[in-house]
Structure 1
Amino acid sequence: MSLGKNTDGGAGRPAPGRVEDVRRGNLVRILASLAEPRTDPDVRPTRADLASRTGLTKASVSSLVAELVDAGLVAESGAARDGERGRPGVGLELSTCRGVVGMEINVDYISAGLLDLGGTLRIHRTLESGNRGKSPQSVMALLAGLVADVAAEASAAGIEILGGGLAVPGLVDTGSGTVSSAPNLKWHGVVLELHGLLPGAPQGTLLHNEANCAALAELWYGHGVDFQDYLFVSGEVGVGGGLVIGSRLFAGPRGQAGEVGHVVVDPSGPDCSCGGRGCLETFAGQEAIFAEAGIPDGTASARLEQLTALLEAGNAAAISAVSRAGHYLGIAAASTARLMDLSAVVLGGHFTRMGPWIAPAVVRSLADYAPGVVGPASVAISELGQSAALLGAAGSALRSVLAAPQGLRPGP
């Protein structure tokens, strides 16, 4: 739908059946403008600022803002001068009293967190849990308990939850809430009962791929300010990937693009959980790195701590294992960059802990296999850590709220 300026009368007046569509679109424009990053976080836009940014009349903006304040989506935040002359206007911001919940199921943990409409992660809870091979019902029940704790904390803080997003490490069908294939969880064709996670939330809960969520979080809260086109590689038990092109996630026609963990980097390599052979995951997944470094069995967090300690101590086996992973990661990134015309690579997940040791190996590999395509300055380490997928899932829910503001009113 193309949204023009509001018309106040005359020949440009929209047809009666379209007036509500135009108003809905203009509400979205106001919210989108308020959601834009501010150069000075202490200076909030006024109604006059919004009129200038959106091209709407001041009268239209005042009416739209009143509706959004009444809906509890926008809050007035004190006086802010409109210019050199005239009385101060009233600063506006997205409400911090309403929010969305991001959730993640991974192989060895679950997590949930509350993101307010202003984009601040107010609550973040993680629970270690060995989920590989567990029934989806038991994992969802555990997650529901964690989400209930987050919801109770949000309620105590006076924050109303409007919806949520759940990130899972596998191929998903968002429309039906189905995990099509999550080899590391051993889930295939599983329909998740999402409605029980946030009962009563008007926007409900949507299912997303974990790596895509992390790539979006990087776009919104991380290196998206530096790169417009990049491959995001998420290291966990498996290896996931997300493609961002023109500052937009590219998921492909079936939502399965970016599966870099299952790009073949050595046809004679070991068997992979996906049923293939020689996939990147078999060289750069956690198990492959731990085994190569000689780190014994244990919880993933404990083994990662041990690996980090060995790297910092200059242990040759650990450094070799991480360099080997970076070499193959660079091969996969080189192929992806050439195919998709990408100019940057961002490493997230467990790769952030290995950054100083794995990034140089990735740079060398890219120079060997795709010279001049992705330079050293365009290989970046994410700073979002383990919260990336959760932030992306919550951010997607937040944007769904901002894209459909009508009908949302504060709860009792």
Structure 2
Amino acid sequence: MVMPAPVVAGPGGTTPGSVGDVRRSNLALVLGAIAEFPFGVHPSRAQLAAVTGLTKASVSSLVLDLLDAGIVREIGLNPQGRGRPGVGLELNPGRAVMGMEINVDYISAAVVDLSGAVLVREVQERDNRNSMDGPVMAALAVLAARVRSAAGEQGVEVLGGGLAVPGLVDPAAARVVTAPNLGWANVELDLGAVLPEAPLGVALFNEANAAALAELRHRPEGASDFLFVSGEVGVGGGLVIGSELFTGPGGHAGEVGHIVVEPDGGRCSCGGTGCLETVAGQDAIFDAAGIGSGSSRSASMSALLQALDAGRPGALAAVERAARCLGIALASTARVVNIYSVVLGGHFAVLEPWLRGPLLDSLEKYAPGKYGSGQVSVSAVGESGALLGAAGSVIRSLVEAPHRLQA
């Protein structure tokens, strides 16, 4: 573990910033150190001093602030060899954040504790196509209240949340720039109404980017460069380079679903023609397979899987076409960003047994020698990716700025 250097006073007692800045920085340093210890290991104040480079007196004072804010708690005694055992510290399991997602055909919410464990999760199927934002946000607020109440019954307080949506967002303005499959453009969301009185508020995220961040945390060691492809009604992408999410100057990089794969193809919800989404999106595959998307998301997917298991030509052809076009999009993306590792999420992960062969064939045709079989993998976090990513980002921002919870 590589910890940043502590901020200390300079010669003559001067500091690079105000005294308050120094303390806030060192508060984050100590909390970050506690968070980095493996699950079940409870560091003492002395161990934190050794890890951070701060004095024991400074660590003790900072820990008191974290205890007062309710972010950490003391737990048992931690033997340290000779001398009196120290009191162990851990992230407070009674504090959590909420990850939430609005997608085209469902809304969902999950309470995630500060260590990243999901405590309560609920998914509600709901047709949000071309819906006004008000009713959708109202339905999400009801769902969030129910999940928050269930967590409260376990003695868990929700400090704040993150909301993921399938579109381009301006987080600073709490605005959805465009979400074509929802029919939203330049919509400002009342995020505070979803989690009223949560001290950290609610942050807004792009769904695919949030899922990519969750994937990064759960990928094998060293998997620091990859393109995460999210398959829903739309197709999204999250680009991770050097273990960091790359969003580009405007924050909207990675929109792999709107790469043109069939120039003379169908009209896309974005206004373009022949985008990957028109061939490989969830509804596009259902329609091509003769399944339709009328009853419910889960029922349609179940029907598609049954058709694939039965070897029905229409279903197999629909998935093969989606795989071929996905390969074109991935080959094009890889040529630009020089990354040849892809993680399949959403329905791409569900359909992987039938999708993988034609996808690898397509990649070899359009990017020969670039993608190996081992460089195409299935999501490690499954359907909860966007929820976990949104929640995880809020937890990370708390660790980096714990003073936000101080009275």
Asked if TM exceeds 0.5, the reply is yes
Q: How far apart in 1 are the matches of 2:136 and 2:404?
A: 33
Per-residue CA deviation, residues 111-169 of structure 1 (Å, 9 max, x unaligned), is 11111112111111111100101111111111111111122222222222211111111
Alpha-carbon distance in structure 1 between the residues aligned to 2:108 and 2:179 = 18
Matched, 1:252 2:248: yes
Show CA shifts across 1:331-377 (max 9, x none): 11111112112131001011121122212322222222223333211
Output aligned runs, 1:160-179, within 5 Å.
160-179=157-176
* In 1, Cα distance between equivalents of 2:270 and 2:348: 21
**Residue number among 88, 91, 100 corresponding to 1:91 in the alignment:** 88
Shift of 1:217: 1.0
Which one of 264, 270, 274 corresponds to residue 270 of structure 2? 274
Query: What's the CA shift string for 1:268-297, capped at 9, x where partnerless?
Result: 221111111111101110112112222133
The answer on whether the counterparts of 1:162 and 1:401 sit within 8 Å (CA) in structure 2 is: no
Match of 1:27 in 2: 27
Give the aligned length: 404
Q: 2:285 aligns with which of 284, 289, 295?
A: 289
Which of 53, 70, 74 aligns to 2:51? It is 53
The partner residue of 2:336 within 334, 339, 344 is 339
Quote the RMSD (CA, aligned, Å).
2.1
| Alignment equivalent of 1:360, drawn from 354, 357, 360 | 357
CA distance in 1, matches of 2:239, 2:204: 18
TM-score by length of 1: 0.92
Q: For 2:262 and 2:366, locate their aligned partners in 1 and report how far apart those are by CA, in whole Å.
A: 14
Q: Which residue of 2 aligns with 1:147?
A: 144
Provide the residue aligned with 1:72 in structure 2. Answer: 70
Query: Structure 1 residue 407: deviation in Å?
Result: 4.5
Q: 1:120 corresponds to which letter in structure 2?
A: A
1:370 to 358, 367, 370: 367
AA of the residue aligned to 1:48:
A
Q: Is the 8 A contact 2:42 2:88 kept in 1?
A: yes
SS in 2 for 1:225: coil
Q: Does 1:233 align with 2:229?
A: yes
The share of aligned pairs that are identical, in percent, is 55
User: With structure 2 as the length reference, what TM-score do the two structures score?
Assistant: 0.93
Cα separation, partners in 2 of 1:132 and 1:25, compared to 1, 3 Å: same
Give the AA of the match of 1:253.
P
Unaligned 5+ residue runs, structure 1? Answer: none
Letter in 2 for 1:58: K
Specify whether residues 232 and 10 from structure 1 end up closer, same or farther in structure 2 by C-alpha distance, changes over 3 A only: closer
**Where do 4+ consecutive residues of structure 1 move more than 4 Å?**
none
Does the Cα contact within 8 Å between 1:94 and 1:118 map onto a contact in 2? yes
Measured in 2, the distance between the counterparts of 1:3 and 1:120 equals: 26
1:10 Cα deviation after fit: 7.6
Amino acid in the other structure paired with 1:123: V
Tell whether 2:398 aligns with 1:401.
yes
* More divergent stretch after superposition (363-372 vs 229-238): 363-372
Aligned to 1:305: 302
Partner SS, residue 173 of structure 2: coil
Gap runs ≥5 in structure 2? none
